[in-house]
Structure 1
Amino acid sequence: MAGLELLSDEGFRQDGRRPGELRKIQARMGIFAQADGSAYVEQGNSKALAVVYGPHEIRGPRSKTLHDRAMVNCQYSMATFSTGERKRRPHGDRKSSEMTLHLKQTFEAAILTQLYPRSQIDIYVQILQADGGNYSTCVNAATLAVIDAGIPMRDYVCACSAGFVEDTPLVDLSYIEEASGGPQLALALLPKSDQIALLEMNSRLHEDHLEKVMDAASKACKDVYAVLDQAVREHLQEVSALVGDRGSA
């Protein structure tokens, strides 16, 4: 798809957004009572569900035990109905394995694993509907689920994708924008310290443009942080009100 179609002469994208504007984000925490932590996030039409168990004893061979910190175990999958084409293997394919590894690296950088030596933290994330920015949506959902589980982190981990069309950085790419084949970047950021938890580039971009795209992605991650932080505060108010009602009953 030509770059011309992705950005109009007036500077609007196909879905009406400005280049630096996020899709609408909706988030809910505490979806499943059985899990230690859970969350559901919608970014535009991309929808992700995250569930966290732990910290708990290591399952499987004792040789996996880390004596100075917790082991972070992640699993990424896509629901068979998440895309227009039916997937026979919701997880275990190359793309899912790659995404699982990215999530593991991201949360190992954010969770204070040294507080839980010889234990394991499980993070399961599933894409229910895919419309671009799958990694970002998963990271944002998993962050809320980890917070819901009460596991301490250095900071929120906020993620966003970015692309580059006609000398203009675009943030929070939709499926159509991803499918155009231009340069794309995925950034996971700890917003308060500006530390990068993960950075991935999947096609070439001239170094002259890299700073511009990084700045746009970084600002977008901070915009995501504002939304996630609001979701956490609203969830805390709901939980506090519920506890207060039970106390007065």
Structure 2
Amino acid sequence: MPEGRDLILVHGAWHGGWAWDAVVPLLESAGHQPIATELPLRGPGGAPATLDEHARVVGAALADARAGAVVVAHSYAGLVVQQALALGVEAELEHIVYVDAWLGWDGDSILGLAPPALASFWRDQHADGWLPAPTPEQLGVTDPEQSAWLTPRLVPQPWATFTDPLKGVPDRHTDGPSASAIVMAPGNGVPFADFATGHGLPITWMTSGHDAMLTHPDELAKLILDRW
């Protein structure tokens, strides 16, 4: 991997830019400039944020990046990056790494892509425009110290980000930057591998829970740096 790239890190639902705290110094030590984006909880008018608003935040980060930048998208951020690219971001990207990420097609939403039982659970849980955060254990974080650190940092997710459909997204990653996927095993019931395969992406498997950036930062950083 050539040195000195901007690595745009996009966190998943219920998280913040802090999710990459353990990965950032590892990427920096390899000579790169990691940039952890922050997806806002609320839009400019104060209402819970939408998928398009998150996509525009990421699009701005990509547009500001140096040529040859790499994007790393975790979980929900897969759809955010897809939508950002569909909006016509002016950026010269080298590669996109989707980490246990949701990936859809035009008209898809997370709620529509989710296994029926999970979608039903989320519908029952959401209220007043927000979806409560899961427990650390549901994210694959079982170490007591890590769980205690993570619990107060998780925040409710804007419900619209799970129901808003993708718009203008191509069927496959046939144009633009190359892309690949890192998928966790044994998995949490969400078909992340199927999403990646459906978009023609090569998959690297990793033995970890969903929040690998917290539980296995060294291994995840190495896989990110080896992706292209």
Higher strand fraction: Structure 1 or Structure 2?
1
